[in-house]
Amino acid sequence: MSKVTRKRYSGEALEAIKGEQTLAGLAAKYAIHHTMIAQWKRPTIEGMGKHQEP
């Protein structure tokens, strides 16, 4: 069997964070479910806080 790799969608999460378009709009644009974008958005925001200087 071959190994299946999953595509990472960091661009969509960043666009969701910017808030210029709704999750539904981004989901339609990238042909993915809106909950997937929401799931990527949450850890991306949490990870951004870890990399900020005090």
Q: What is the Cα–Cα distance from 26 to 10, expressed in whole angstroms?
A: 13
pLDDT (0 to 100) of residue 6: 58
pLDDT band at 8 (very low <50, low <70, confident <90, very high): low
Is 14 or 32 the better-scoring residue by pLDDT? 32
The pLDDT assigned to 25 comes to: 92
Alpha helices in the chain (DSSP H): 10-18, 23-30, 34-50
> Model's pTM, two decimal places?
0.63
What is the separation of C-alpha 40 from the centre of its chain, rounded to a whole number of angstroms? 4
pLDDT of residue 28: 92
Residue 31 or residue 7, greater confidence: 31
